[in-house]
Chains A and B, each alone.
Chain A
Amino acid sequence: MARLLSFAVFLVTWWVASLFAGDAKLPPPPTVLTAMIAEARSGNLFFHLGATLARVTLAFTLAMALGAAIGYLMGRVRLADRLGDPWLILLLNLPALVVIVLAYIWAGLTEVAAIAAIAINKLPTAVVTLREGARALDAALDEMATVFALPRWSRFRHVILPQLSPYIAAAARSGLSLVWKIVLVAELLGRPNGVGFEIGVAFQLFDIPLLLAYSLSFAAVVLLIETLFVQPFEARSYRWRPRAA
Protein backbone atom coordinates (compact mmCIF):
# COMPACT_ATOMS: atom_id res chain seq x y z
CA MET A 1 0.00 0.00 0.00
CA ALA A 2 2.70 2.46 1.06
CA ARG A 3 4.61 1.60 -2.09
CA LEU A 4 1.63 2.28 -4.34
CA LEU A 5 1.01 5.59 -2.62
CA SER A 6 4.62 6.61 -3.09
CA PHE A 7 4.35 5.71 -6.77
CA ALA A 8 1.19 7.80 -7.12
CA VAL A 9 2.92 10.79 -5.53
CA PHE A 10 5.71 10.39 -8.07
CA LEU A 11 3.25 10.42 -10.99
CA VAL A 12 1.39 13.47 -9.69
CA THR A 13 4.62 15.39 -9.13
CA TRP A 14 5.75 14.54 -12.62
CA TRP A 15 2.45 15.62 -14.14
CA VAL A 16 2.41 18.94 -12.29
CA ALA A 17 6.05 19.58 -13.16
CA SER A 18 5.33 18.95 -16.85
CA LEU A 19 2.59 21.65 -16.76
CA PHE A 20 5.15 24.17 -15.58
CA ALA A 21 8.08 23.06 -17.72
CA GLY A 22 6.09 22.60 -20.94
CA ASP A 23 5.72 19.59 -23.23
CA ALA A 24 8.97 20.18 -25.04
CA LYS A 25 11.15 19.78 -21.96
CA LEU A 26 9.12 17.40 -19.81
CA PRO A 27 6.29 15.55 -21.55
CA PRO A 28 3.43 14.44 -19.23
CA PRO A 29 2.99 10.75 -18.31
CA PRO A 30 0.42 9.90 -21.08
CA THR A 31 2.78 11.06 -23.85
CA VAL A 32 5.60 8.93 -22.45
CA LEU A 33 3.23 5.99 -22.01
CA THR A 34 2.19 6.28 -25.67
CA ALA A 35 5.84 6.23 -26.74
CA MET A 36 6.43 3.24 -24.48
CA ILE A 37 3.48 1.32 -25.94
CA ALA A 38 4.58 2.12 -29.50
CA GLU A 39 8.08 0.80 -28.77
CA ALA A 40 6.65 -2.28 -27.05
CA ARG A 41 4.31 -2.98 -30.03
CA SER A 42 7.19 -2.84 -32.50
CA GLY A 43 9.22 -5.17 -30.25
CA ASN A 44 12.07 -2.68 -30.01
CA LEU A 45 11.59 -2.09 -26.30
CA PHE A 46 11.93 -5.76 -25.41
CA PHE A 47 14.81 -6.30 -27.78
CA HIS A 48 16.86 -3.48 -26.27
CA LEU A 49 15.88 -4.27 -22.69
CA GLY A 50 16.81 -7.90 -23.33
CA ALA A 51 20.22 -6.95 -24.75
CA THR A 52 20.96 -4.75 -21.73
CA LEU A 53 19.72 -7.38 -19.30
CA ALA A 54 21.91 -10.05 -20.90
CA ARG A 55 24.98 -7.79 -20.56
CA VAL A 56 24.14 -7.01 -16.94
CA THR A 57 23.68 -10.68 -16.11
CA LEU A 58 26.93 -11.74 -17.72
CA ALA A 59 29.06 -8.91 -16.36
CA PHE A 60 27.51 -9.14 -12.90
CA THR A 61 27.97 -12.90 -12.61
CA LEU A 62 31.53 -12.70 -13.86
CA ALA A 63 32.47 -9.87 -11.50
CA MET A 64 30.76 -11.42 -8.47
CA ALA A 65 32.33 -14.84 -8.99
CA LEU A 66 35.83 -13.50 -9.58
CA GLY A 67 35.49 -10.80 -6.94
CA ALA A 68 34.26 -13.25 -4.29
CA ALA A 69 37.10 -15.67 -4.99
CA ILE A 70 39.79 -12.97 -4.97
CA GLY A 71 38.29 -11.23 -1.94
CA TYR A 72 38.11 -14.47 0.03
CA LEU A 73 41.72 -15.27 -0.84
CA MET A 74 42.89 -11.79 0.15
CA GLY A 75 40.99 -11.98 3.42
CA ARG A 76 42.47 -15.36 4.34
CA VAL A 77 46.01 -15.23 2.98
CA ARG A 78 48.24 -12.38 4.10
CA LEU A 79 50.56 -12.59 1.12
CA ALA A 80 47.67 -12.41 -1.33
CA ASP A 81 46.43 -9.33 0.47
CA ARG A 82 49.83 -7.64 0.26
CA LEU A 83 50.21 -8.47 -3.44
CA GLY A 84 46.67 -7.62 -4.43
CA ASP A 85 46.17 -4.45 -2.44
CA PRO A 86 47.86 -1.92 -4.79
CA TRP A 87 45.94 -3.34 -7.77
CA LEU A 88 42.75 -3.12 -5.83
CA ILE A 89 43.27 0.53 -4.97
CA LEU A 90 44.13 1.31 -8.58
CA LEU A 91 41.01 -0.44 -9.90
CA LEU A 92 38.77 1.09 -7.24
CA ASN A 93 39.73 4.59 -8.26
CA LEU A 94 39.93 4.13 -12.02
CA PRO A 95 37.02 6.01 -13.66
CA ALA A 96 34.53 3.75 -15.43
CA LEU A 97 34.85 5.79 -18.59
CA VAL A 98 38.60 5.14 -18.82
CA VAL A 99 38.11 1.38 -18.54
CA ILE A 100 35.36 1.34 -21.14
CA VAL A 101 37.21 3.51 -23.67
CA LEU A 102 40.45 1.54 -23.26
CA ALA A 103 38.59 -1.78 -23.60
CA TYR A 104 36.98 -0.62 -26.85
CA ILE A 105 40.31 0.61 -28.20
CA TRP A 106 42.19 -2.56 -27.32
CA ALA A 107 39.55 -5.20 -28.03
CA GLY A 108 37.50 -3.39 -30.66
CA LEU A 109 33.82 -2.44 -30.43
CA THR A 110 32.86 -5.97 -29.44
CA GLU A 111 30.55 -7.63 -26.96
CA VAL A 112 33.51 -9.14 -25.12
CA ALA A 113 35.08 -5.70 -24.65
CA ALA A 114 31.83 -4.25 -23.33
CA ILE A 115 31.18 -7.05 -20.84
CA ALA A 116 34.78 -7.19 -19.68
CA ALA A 117 34.81 -3.42 -19.13
CA ILE A 118 31.62 -3.54 -17.08
CA ALA A 119 32.88 -6.47 -15.04
CA ILE A 120 36.21 -4.78 -14.35
CA ASN A 121 34.36 -1.75 -12.99
CA LYS A 122 32.36 -3.86 -10.58
CA LEU A 123 35.13 -6.30 -9.60
CA PRO A 124 37.04 -4.19 -7.02
CA THR A 125 33.99 -3.34 -4.90
CA ALA A 126 33.10 -7.03 -4.70
CA VAL A 127 36.69 -7.85 -3.71
CA VAL A 128 36.74 -5.22 -0.96
CA THR A 129 33.44 -6.35 0.55
CA LEU A 130 34.25 -10.06 0.44
CA ARG A 131 37.73 -9.45 1.83
CA GLU A 132 36.12 -7.80 4.84
CA GLY A 133 33.81 -10.80 5.16
CA ALA A 134 36.66 -13.29 5.01
CA ARG A 135 38.57 -11.32 7.65
CA ALA A 136 35.57 -11.43 9.95
CA LEU A 137 35.20 -15.23 9.79
CA ASP A 138 34.85 -16.69 13.28
CA ALA A 139 37.99 -18.60 14.30
CA ALA A 140 36.06 -20.40 17.05
CA LEU A 141 33.70 -22.00 14.52
CA ASP A 142 36.70 -22.85 12.37
CA GLU A 143 38.23 -24.77 15.26
CA MET A 144 34.94 -26.52 15.88
CA ALA A 145 34.84 -27.63 12.25
CA THR A 146 38.44 -28.88 12.48
CA VAL A 147 37.89 -30.86 15.68
CA PHE A 148 34.74 -32.52 14.37
CA ALA A 149 36.51 -33.19 11.05
CA LEU A 150 33.77 -31.66 8.91
CA PRO A 151 34.33 -32.56 5.25
CA ARG A 152 35.47 -29.70 3.01
CA TRP A 153 32.18 -29.16 1.22
CA SER A 154 30.09 -29.30 4.36
CA ARG A 155 32.44 -26.87 6.04
CA PHE A 156 32.17 -24.45 3.14
CA ARG A 157 28.41 -24.70 2.88
CA HIS A 158 27.44 -24.70 6.54
CA VAL A 159 30.24 -22.86 8.32
CA ILE A 160 31.81 -20.39 5.89
CA LEU A 161 29.10 -19.49 3.39
CA PRO A 162 26.48 -18.45 5.99
CA GLN A 163 29.05 -16.13 7.55
CA LEU A 164 29.84 -14.59 4.17
CA SER A 165 26.26 -14.28 2.97
CA PRO A 166 25.58 -10.80 4.43
CA TYR A 167 28.73 -9.61 2.68
CA ILE A 168 27.71 -11.33 -0.55
CA ALA A 169 24.29 -9.69 -0.31
CA ALA A 170 25.89 -6.29 0.29
CA ALA A 171 28.28 -6.76 -2.63
CA ALA A 172 25.42 -7.89 -4.86
CA ARG A 173 23.23 -4.95 -3.88
CA SER A 174 25.87 -2.26 -4.41
CA GLY A 175 27.34 -4.10 -7.38
CA LEU A 176 24.06 -4.43 -9.18
CA SER A 177 23.36 -0.71 -8.97
CA LEU A 178 26.88 0.02 -10.23
CA VAL A 179 26.48 -2.37 -13.16
CA TRP A 180 23.09 -0.87 -14.12
CA LYS A 181 24.72 2.55 -14.35
CA ILE A 182 27.84 1.52 -16.23
CA VAL A 183 26.19 -0.79 -18.73
CA LEU A 184 24.34 2.15 -20.32
CA VAL A 185 27.57 4.10 -20.77
CA ALA A 186 29.24 1.11 -22.40
CA GLU A 187 26.25 0.71 -24.75
CA LEU A 188 26.13 4.39 -25.58
CA LEU A 189 29.81 4.41 -26.52
CA GLY A 190 30.13 1.28 -28.56
CA ARG A 191 27.17 -1.07 -28.96
CA PRO A 192 24.49 -1.14 -31.69
CA ASN A 193 21.69 -2.13 -29.29
CA GLY A 194 20.58 -1.96 -25.68
CA VAL A 195 18.90 0.72 -23.60
CA GLY A 196 22.06 2.84 -23.59
CA PHE A 197 22.16 2.82 -27.38
CA GLU A 198 18.48 3.85 -27.65
CA ILE A 199 19.01 6.64 -25.16
CA GLY A 200 21.91 7.85 -27.27
CA VAL A 201 19.62 7.90 -30.32
CA ALA A 202 16.88 9.72 -28.41
CA PHE A 203 19.46 12.25 -27.23
CA GLN A 204 20.63 12.99 -30.77
CA LEU A 205 17.04 13.46 -31.96
CA PHE A 206 16.04 15.32 -28.79
CA ASP A 207 13.17 12.85 -28.56
CA ILE A 208 12.37 13.27 -24.87
CA PRO A 209 9.31 10.94 -24.72
CA LEU A 210 11.44 8.14 -26.21
CA LEU A 211 14.28 8.88 -23.79
CA LEU A 212 11.94 8.77 -20.81
CA ALA A 213 10.13 5.69 -22.13
CA TYR A 214 13.39 3.73 -22.17
CA SER A 215 14.70 5.12 -18.88
CA LEU A 216 11.50 4.30 -17.03
CA SER A 217 11.12 0.81 -18.52
CA PHE A 218 14.68 0.20 -17.46
CA ALA A 219 13.96 1.47 -13.94
CA ALA A 220 10.92 -0.81 -13.76
CA VAL A 221 13.07 -3.83 -14.64
CA VAL A 222 15.59 -2.88 -11.93
CA LEU A 223 12.82 -2.58 -9.35
CA LEU A 224 11.37 -5.91 -10.40
CA ILE A 225 14.70 -7.72 -10.08
CA GLU A 226 15.31 -6.10 -6.71
CA THR A 227 11.97 -7.28 -5.29
CA LEU A 228 11.96 -10.69 -6.96
CA PHE A 229 15.57 -11.77 -6.40
CA VAL A 230 17.72 -9.57 -4.19
CA GLN A 231 15.30 -9.01 -1.31
CA PRO A 232 14.07 -12.62 -1.02
CA PHE A 233 17.70 -13.78 -0.98
CA GLU A 234 18.49 -11.40 1.86
CA ALA A 235 15.40 -12.43 3.80
CA ARG A 236 16.33 -16.09 3.42
CA SER A 237 19.90 -15.68 4.58
CA TYR A 238 18.76 -13.81 7.72
CA ARG A 239 15.92 -16.08 8.74
CA TRP A 240 17.89 -17.60 11.63
CA ARG A 241 18.41 -14.21 13.28
CA PRO A 242 16.11 -13.38 16.17
CA ARG A 243 13.70 -10.87 14.70
CA ALA A 244 14.96 -7.35 15.27
CA ALA A 245 14.67 -5.24 12.13
Chain B
Amino acid sequence: MRLEVEIASKTFKSAAGEQHDVIAGVAFALGAGEVGVLVGPSGCGKSTMLRILAGLDQDFQGRISRPAGARIGFVFQEPRLLPWRSVEENVRLAAPGADEAKLSALFEILELKAHRNHFPGELSLGLARRVALARAFAVEPELLILDEPLASLDAALASRLRDEIAMLVNGRSVITLLVTHDVDDAVRLGDRVILLSPRPARILADLPIRTPRSARGDAETAAIKSDIMRRINGCPTKRDAS
Protein backbone atom coordinates (compact mmCIF):
# COMPACT_ATOMS: atom_id res chain seq x y z
CA MET B 1 0.00 0.00 0.00
CA ARG B 2 1.55 3.21 -1.17
CA LEU B 3 0.60 6.74 -2.00
CA GLU B 4 2.41 8.19 -4.99
CA VAL B 5 2.02 11.82 -5.83
CA GLU B 6 3.19 13.62 -8.93
CA ILE B 7 1.64 16.99 -9.47
CA ALA B 8 3.32 18.73 -12.38
CA SER B 9 1.24 21.86 -12.15
CA LYS B 10 -2.00 23.21 -10.82
CA THR B 11 -3.42 26.56 -11.83
CA PHE B 12 -6.66 28.25 -11.11
CA LYS B 13 -8.46 31.20 -12.59
CA SER B 14 -9.39 34.06 -10.31
CA ALA B 15 -12.76 35.80 -10.59
CA ALA B 16 -11.02 38.49 -12.66
CA GLY B 17 -9.90 35.84 -15.16
CA GLU B 18 -6.19 35.88 -14.30
CA GLN B 19 -4.28 32.62 -14.13
CA HIS B 20 -2.50 31.75 -10.90
CA ASP B 21 0.02 28.96 -10.50
CA VAL B 22 -0.52 27.20 -7.20
CA ILE B 23 1.71 24.15 -7.54
CA ALA B 24 4.74 24.08 -9.80
CA GLY B 25 5.95 20.52 -9.39
CA VAL B 26 5.62 18.28 -6.38
CA ALA B 27 6.44 14.58 -6.30
CA PHE B 28 6.77 12.25 -3.35
CA ALA B 29 5.66 8.84 -2.15
CA LEU B 30 4.56 7.55 1.24
CA GLY B 31 4.22 3.99 2.52
CA ALA B 32 1.81 2.49 5.04
CA GLY B 33 2.58 3.39 8.63
CA GLU B 34 4.53 6.43 7.53
CA VAL B 35 3.71 9.98 8.59
CA GLY B 36 4.63 12.56 5.99
CA VAL B 37 4.53 16.18 6.98
CA LEU B 38 4.17 18.96 4.45
CA VAL B 39 5.62 22.18 5.78
CA GLY B 40 5.33 25.45 3.97
CA PRO B 41 4.33 29.06 4.45
CA SER B 42 0.68 30.07 4.59
CA GLY B 43 -0.96 30.20 1.19
CA CYS B 44 1.69 28.08 -0.54
CA GLY B 45 -0.87 25.62 -1.92
CA LYS B 46 -0.81 22.94 0.77
CA SER B 47 -4.57 22.73 1.18
CA THR B 48 -5.00 22.62 -2.59
CA MET B 49 -2.58 19.70 -2.68
CA LEU B 50 -4.56 17.83 -0.03
CA ARG B 51 -7.79 18.36 -1.94
CA ILE B 52 -6.12 16.88 -5.03
CA LEU B 53 -4.85 13.89 -3.02
CA ALA B 54 -8.31 13.21 -1.62
CA GLY B 55 -9.81 13.29 -5.11
CA LEU B 56 -11.83 16.45 -4.46
CA ASP B 57 -10.05 18.38 -7.19
CA GLN B 58 -9.32 16.64 -10.46
CA ASP B 59 -8.35 19.65 -12.50
CA PHE B 60 -4.54 19.41 -12.43
CA GLN B 61 -1.58 18.17 -14.45
CA GLY B 62 -0.04 15.02 -13.09
CA ARG B 63 -0.89 11.72 -11.50
CA ILE B 64 -1.97 10.47 -8.09
CA SER B 65 -1.91 6.80 -7.30
CA ARG B 66 -3.47 5.65 -4.09
CA PRO B 67 -4.70 2.19 -3.13
CA ALA B 68 -7.86 1.48 -5.12
CA GLY B 69 -11.00 2.21 -3.11
CA ALA B 70 -8.91 3.35 -0.15
CA ARG B 71 -10.89 4.66 2.79
CA ILE B 72 -9.90 8.23 3.48
CA GLY B 73 -10.01 9.99 6.81
CA PHE B 74 -9.79 13.76 6.35
CA VAL B 75 -9.44 16.34 9.09
CA PHE B 76 -10.17 19.67 7.45
CA GLN B 77 -8.78 22.96 8.66
CA GLU B 78 -12.22 23.94 9.95
CA PRO B 79 -13.86 20.93 11.64
CA ARG B 80 -16.68 20.65 9.06
CA LEU B 81 -19.11 18.88 11.36
CA LEU B 82 -22.83 18.67 10.67
CA PRO B 83 -24.21 21.27 13.11
CA TRP B 84 -27.63 19.59 13.21
CA ARG B 85 -26.32 16.21 14.31
CA SER B 86 -24.86 15.30 17.68
CA VAL B 87 -21.17 14.53 18.18
CA GLU B 88 -21.82 10.81 18.17
CA GLU B 89 -24.06 10.96 15.10
CA ASN B 90 -21.41 12.97 13.27
CA VAL B 91 -18.89 10.21 13.84
CA ARG B 92 -21.30 7.37 13.16
CA LEU B 93 -22.53 8.83 9.88
CA ALA B 94 -19.01 8.81 8.46
CA ALA B 95 -18.27 5.36 9.90
CA PRO B 96 -21.48 3.33 9.84
CA GLY B 97 -19.51 0.11 10.38
CA ALA B 98 -17.75 1.23 13.57
CA ASP B 99 -18.74 -0.79 16.64
CA GLU B 100 -19.47 0.59 20.10
CA ALA B 101 -16.22 -0.65 21.67
CA LYS B 102 -14.09 1.08 19.07
CA LEU B 103 -16.00 4.33 19.36
CA SER B 104 -15.77 4.35 23.15
CA ALA B 105 -12.03 3.81 22.94
CA LEU B 106 -11.72 6.66 20.48
CA PHE B 107 -13.89 9.01 22.55
CA GLU B 108 -11.86 8.05 25.59
CA ILE B 109 -8.51 8.92 24.02
CA LEU B 110 -9.80 12.20 22.61
CA GLU B 111 -11.56 13.12 25.88
CA LEU B 112 -14.96 13.37 24.21
CA LYS B 113 -16.87 10.97 26.46
CA ALA B 114 -18.88 13.72 28.15
CA HIS B 115 -19.79 15.35 24.84
CA ARG B 116 -21.33 12.49 22.86
CA ASN B 117 -24.79 14.00 22.84
CA HIS B 118 -23.81 17.62 22.38
CA PHE B 119 -24.33 19.49 19.16
CA PRO B 120 -21.22 20.95 17.47
CA GLY B 121 -22.48 24.50 18.14
CA GLU B 122 -22.07 23.82 21.84
CA LEU B 123 -18.39 22.86 21.55
CA SER B 124 -15.23 24.94 21.67
CA LEU B 125 -12.93 24.88 18.64
CA GLY B 126 -10.55 22.49 20.42
CA LEU B 127 -13.36 20.03 21.11
CA ALA B 128 -14.77 20.35 17.60
CA ARG B 129 -11.31 19.54 16.21
CA ARG B 130 -11.27 16.43 18.37
CA VAL B 131 -14.63 15.35 16.99
CA ALA B 132 -13.23 15.80 13.49
CA LEU B 133 -10.24 13.66 14.51
CA ALA B 134 -12.52 11.01 16.01
CA ARG B 135 -14.51 10.94 12.78
CA ALA B 136 -11.38 10.53 10.66
CA PHE B 137 -10.01 7.68 12.82
CA ALA B 138 -13.39 5.95 13.17
CA VAL B 139 -13.51 5.11 9.46
CA GLU B 140 -10.29 3.06 9.92
CA PRO B 141 -8.67 4.98 7.10
CA GLU B 142 -6.00 3.67 4.81
CA LEU B 143 -5.11 7.23 3.97
CA LEU B 144 -5.30 9.83 6.72
CA ILE B 145 -5.08 13.49 5.81
CA LEU B 146 -4.73 16.15 8.47
CA ASP B 147 -4.91 19.77 7.36
CA GLU B 148 -3.44 22.00 10.09
CA PRO B 149 -5.24 20.14 12.87
CA LEU B 150 -3.52 22.23 15.56
CA ALA B 151 -3.84 25.71 14.06
CA SER B 152 -5.33 28.47 16.23
CA LEU B 153 -5.35 26.43 19.43
CA ASP B 154 -3.44 27.68 22.45
CA ALA B 155 0.00 26.13 23.01
CA ALA B 156 -0.96 23.81 25.88
CA LEU B 157 -4.01 22.45 24.09
CA ALA B 158 -2.10 22.07 20.82
CA SER B 159 0.59 20.02 22.51
CA ARG B 160 -2.00 17.75 24.21
CA LEU B 161 -3.82 17.19 20.95
CA ARG B 162 -0.50 16.53 19.22
CA ASP B 163 0.24 13.75 21.70
CA GLU B 164 -3.22 12.32 21.14
CA ILE B 165 -2.69 12.29 17.37
CA ALA B 166 0.68 10.59 17.84
CA MET B 167 -0.96 7.98 20.06
CA LEU B 168 -3.65 7.27 17.47
CA VAL B 169 -1.22 7.11 14.54
CA ASN B 170 1.21 4.78 16.31
CA GLY B 171 0.44 1.16 15.74
CA ARG B 172 -1.86 1.73 12.79
CA SER B 173 -0.71 0.87 9.30
CA VAL B 174 -2.12 3.99 7.77
CA ILE B 175 -0.56 6.38 5.29
CA THR B 176 -0.67 9.71 7.08
CA LEU B 177 -0.19 13.09 5.55
CA LEU B 178 -0.08 16.08 7.83
CA VAL B 179 0.03 19.67 6.72
CA THR B 180 1.33 22.37 8.99
CA HIS B 181 3.28 25.59 8.91
CA ASP B 182 4.63 24.89 12.38
CA VAL B 183 8.09 23.28 12.28
CA ASP B 184 7.80 22.09 15.86
CA ASP B 185 4.69 20.02 15.11
CA ALA B 186 6.34 18.67 11.98
CA VAL B 187 9.43 17.43 13.82
CA ARG B 188 7.47 15.89 16.67
CA LEU B 189 4.91 14.07 14.55
CA GLY B 190 6.54 13.25 11.23
CA ASP B 191 8.63 10.39 9.89
CA ARG B 192 9.39 12.52 6.86
CA VAL B 193 9.35 16.25 6.57
CA ILE B 194 8.73 17.69 3.12
CA LEU B 195 9.55 21.36 2.86
CA LEU B 196 7.63 23.43 0.35
CA SER B 197 8.49 26.75 -1.22
CA PRO B 198 6.14 29.74 -1.26
CA ARG B 199 3.55 29.74 -4.03
CA PRO B 200 3.78 28.19 -6.60
CA ALA B 201 4.77 25.25 -4.42
CA ARG B 202 7.89 23.21 -5.20
CA ILE B 203 9.67 20.74 -2.95
CA LEU B 204 12.68 22.39 -1.25
CA ALA B 205 13.79 19.32 0.67
CA ASP B 206 12.53 15.86 1.60
CA LEU B 207 14.02 14.97 4.99
CA PRO B 208 13.52 11.57 6.59
CA ILE B 209 13.70 11.39 10.41
CA ARG B 210 15.07 7.99 11.36
CA THR B 211 14.55 7.94 15.11
CA PRO B 212 11.05 6.68 16.05
CA ARG B 213 8.70 9.34 17.37
CA SER B 214 8.65 8.15 20.98
CA ALA B 215 12.45 7.97 21.20
CA ARG B 216 13.12 11.49 20.03
CA GLY B 217 14.77 13.54 22.75
CA ASP B 218 14.64 17.29 23.10
CA ALA B 219 18.20 17.70 21.85
CA GLU B 220 17.53 15.74 18.67
CA THR B 221 14.26 17.57 18.01
CA ALA B 222 16.04 20.89 18.40
CA ALA B 223 18.81 19.80 16.01
CA ILE B 224 16.38 18.72 13.30
CA LYS B 225 14.41 21.89 13.83
CA SER B 226 17.38 24.16 13.38
CA ASP B 227 18.38 22.21 10.26
CA ILE B 228 14.92 22.77 8.81
CA MET B 229 14.91 26.42 9.79
CA ARG B 230 18.20 26.91 7.99
CA ARG B 231 16.87 25.32 4.83
CA ILE B 232 13.76 27.45 4.69
CA ASN B 233 15.42 30.67 5.68
CA GLY B 234 14.05 32.38 2.61
CA CYS B 235 10.52 31.60 3.74
CA PRO B 236 10.06 32.15 7.47
CA THR B 237 7.61 29.99 9.38
CA LYS B 238 6.04 30.70 12.69
CA ARG B 239 3.08 29.50 14.67
CA ASP B 240 -0.18 30.91 13.46
CA ALA B 241 -0.83 34.08 15.43
CA SER B 242 -4.58 34.14 14.87
| Majority secondary structure, B binding face | loop
Asked if A177 CB lies within 8 Å of chain B CBs, one says no
Asked if A240 CB lies within 8 Å of chain B CBs, one says yes
**21 pairs, A vs B, C-beta closer than 8 Å:** A140-B76, A140-B80, A143-B76, A143-B80, A144-B80, A147-B55, A147-B56, A147-B72, A147-B74, A148-B73, A148-B139, A150-B94, A154-B93, A158-B82, A158-B89, A162-B82, A162-B85, A240-B85, A240-B119, A240-B121, A241-B121
Q: How far is the CB of B92 from chain A (nearest CB, A)?
A: 10
| Majority secondary structure, A binding face | helix
* Nearest CB in chain B to that of A158: its residue: B93
Contact residues of A with B, CB < 8 Å? Answer: 140-141, 143-144, 146-150, 154, 158-159, 162, 240-242
Closest 9 CB pairs of A and B: A148-B94, A162-B84, A240-B84, A147-B74, A144-B80, A240-B119, A242-B121, A147-B54, A143-B56
Instruction: Please determine whether A159 and B74 come into contact, CB atoms closer than 8 angstroms.
Output: no
Mask: chain B, 144-180; 1 = CB below 8 Å from A; 0 = not: 0000000000000000000000000000000000000
Instruction: Please determine whether B85 and A144 come into contact, CB atoms closer than 8 angstroms.
Output: no
Q: Which of A140, A148, A154, A242 contacts B72 (CB 8 A)?
A: A148
Count B-side interface residues using an 8 Å CB cutoff: 25
Instruction: Please determine whether B82 and A141 come into contact, CB atoms closer than 8 angstroms.
Output: yes
Q: Chain B contacts of A147 at CB under 8 A? A: 54-56, 72, 74
Asked if B10 CB lies within 8 Å of chain A CBs, one says no
A141, A148, A158, A159 — most chain B CB neighbours (10 Å): A148
Instruction: Please determine whether B78 and A144 come into contact, CB atoms closer than 8 angstroms.
Output: no
Instruction: Please determine whether B54 and A140 come into contact, CB atoms closer than 8 angstroms.
Output: no
Asked if B122 CB lies within 8 Å of chain A CBs, one says yes
Q: A150-B94, A154-B93, A162-B84 are in contact. Are A144 and B121 (CB under 8 A)?
A: no
